[in-house]
Amino acid sequence: MRKILLIGAGKSTSYLIDYFLAKAPMENLKLTIGDLDPQTISEKVRSHEHCEVITLDVFNQTDRKKAIEGSDIVVSMLPARFHIQVAKDCITYSKHLVTASYVSNEIRELDAEVKKKGLVFMNEIGLDPGIDHMSAMEVLDRVREQGAKMLLFESFTGGLVAPESDDNLWNYKFTWNPRNVVVAGQGGAAKFIQEGTYKYIPYHKLFRRTEFLEVEGFGKFEAYANRDSLWYREAYGLHDVLTLYRGTMRRVGFSKAWNMFVQLGMTDDTYIIENSKGMSYREFVNLFLPYSPTDSVELKLRHYLKIDQDDIMWEKLLDLDLFDGTKKIQKAQATPAQALQEILETKWSLKPEEKDMIVMYHKFGFELNGVKQQIDANMVVLGETSTHTAMAKTVGLPVAMATLQILNKKITTAGVQIPISREVYQPILKELATYGVTFNEFEVPYLGYNPDSIAG
């Protein structure tokens, strides 16, 4: 049997595991799942004849090395910062490696050793990064082969709640790591290129600069800029492109409302609230407001943010029970961002019967035979349940497919890489389509980067 080692069995692995086990009989696969808490894995998976579940602490060097040595290929679904030790062991024992994470500098520095051993270290093969790379390169390669000169590339992705489960004023629920949502955009200005000019958006302005997008059948969305769009010039071969912009999609109105938390300072993750445990939500809000011997917390906040009592922004804050004096923060020594995350998770977690939604949107502007043209492409994937989510599907399936392609020697180019070559993206996009993960393409008038679409 060919042995696959999966390290980490979190929320994004439901489809990944199902794919491996469905393919196991015909592909002669043995799946070993190593997780710190294997009891969270379903009995159906644990009892599968082609599966073994083990307790694996990635920091236990002996157990980690033994598990990696006994495999043919390793899939690491750990947080990105933990990949490096797994990667080094894969080099030691000459094992291929697949991850859905961004390539870190530490992993990138292993490239020469990986190539020397003829190994494939495939990274960024999930949703974003992953499907975004592959779907973008498929169109970019196609139009450039026709002789087109690229002028514009924009790409947006959103993990959202499905329309039938969208029942709060924020039109949002957590479908991925809540922490990533709370601290999104921090750590430096968002940077991109607009009509040949470098543009920078500081964090305190990020959520007031949004581009609007329409997806047929699903309505209107907004997008705020990701931190660094410029890296994609090199990866996608867009050195001379005039506009390069990547962003995160939300329902219209979310960003303006989220900006209230930013302006208050509630998303700050740089200091600790000493007495956070047991603090009421109301007391937490009051931390960020001026002292007044007479004004209530509600009145101080409305004055501070300049919002009226009949403003929908005010309704959105009330929707989160932020002024409740009985509900308590449970985390001790919490940063403001951690306390806010705890409050939001009580309201924005998917219930068992609820579904999520993934939306991706690309814009390709180019000049061909002297004529400026534009192709837009979008993808919508709906989840099935709160465990078999659209997020798990679009992250897990590309990882699983790439793993099998490497095992079957269909992907053979050695080195630390991301899925931007035809060898990788063509078969995976084709197979993803059989699972309903497809893009709709349509031609639109080329308008360049539309400044009227930027709010604020």
pLDDT at 280 over 70: yes
pLDDT at 144 over 90: yes
In the prediction, which pLDDT does 449 show? 53
* Domains of the chain (ranges, CATH numbers): 2-123 (3.40.50.720), 131-258+352-385+439-453 (3.30.360.10), 274-348 (no CATH)
- For 283, the token pair is 């007391």
DSSP state of 104: P
Give mean pLDDT, residues 80-102.
95
pLDDT at 115 over 60: yes
Give mean pLDDT, residues 319-344.
97
- For 222, the token pair is 């907004």
pLDDT tens digits, 29-52: 999 999 988 888 889 999 999 999
pLDDT tens digits, 10-35: 888 999 999 999 999 999 999 999 99
pLDDT at 456 over 80: no
pLDDT at 343 over 50: yes
Give mean pLDDT, residues 81-104.
95
At residue 428 the predicted structure's pLDDT band, cuts being 50, 70 and 90, is: very high
In the prediction, which pLDDT does 39 show? 85
pLDDT at 301 over 70: yes
pLDDT tens digits, 228-274: 889 889 999 999 999 999 999 999 999 999 999 999 999 999 999 99
At residue 179 the predicted structure's pLDDT band, cuts being 50, 70 and 90, is: very high
pLDDT at 177 over 90: no
Give mean pLDDT, residues 201-222.
95
In the prediction, which pLDDT does 452 show? 44
pLDDT above 70 as % of the chain: 98
Average pLDDT, the chain: 94
Give mean pLDDT, residues 370-397.
94
In the prediction, which pLDDT does 455 show? 40
111: alpha, beta or left? (left if phi > 0; alpha if psi -120 to 50): alpha
Query: Which residues, in sequence order, are CB contacts of 191 under 8 Å at separation 6+?
Result: 198, 199, 200, 201, 227, 228, 229, 230
In order of 18, 83, 110, 324, the CA distances from 279 in angstroms are 43, 36, 47, 11
Q: Is the dihedral of CA 107, 111, 113, 117 positive or negative?
A: positive
In the prediction, which pLDDT does 12 show? 85
Give mean pLDDT, residues 127-147.
96
In the prediction, which pLDDT does 175 show? 85
Query: Which residues, in sequence order, are CB contacts of 395 under 8 Å at separation 6+?
Result: 12, 16, 100, 126, 127, 130
How many Å apart are CA 54 and CA 46, to the nearest integer? 9
At residue 222 the predicted structure's pLDDT band, cuts being 50, 70 and 90, is: very high
At residue 447 the predicted structure's pLDDT band, cuts being 50, 70 and 90, is: confident
* Burial of 29 (C-beta count, 10 Å sphere; 0-12/13-18/19+): buried
pLDDT at 450 over 60: no
Give mean pLDDT, residues 281-305.
96
**What count of Cα atoms within 13 Å lies in the side-chain half-sphere of residue 22?**
9
At residue 454 the predicted structure's pLDDT band, cuts being 50, 70 and 90, is: very low
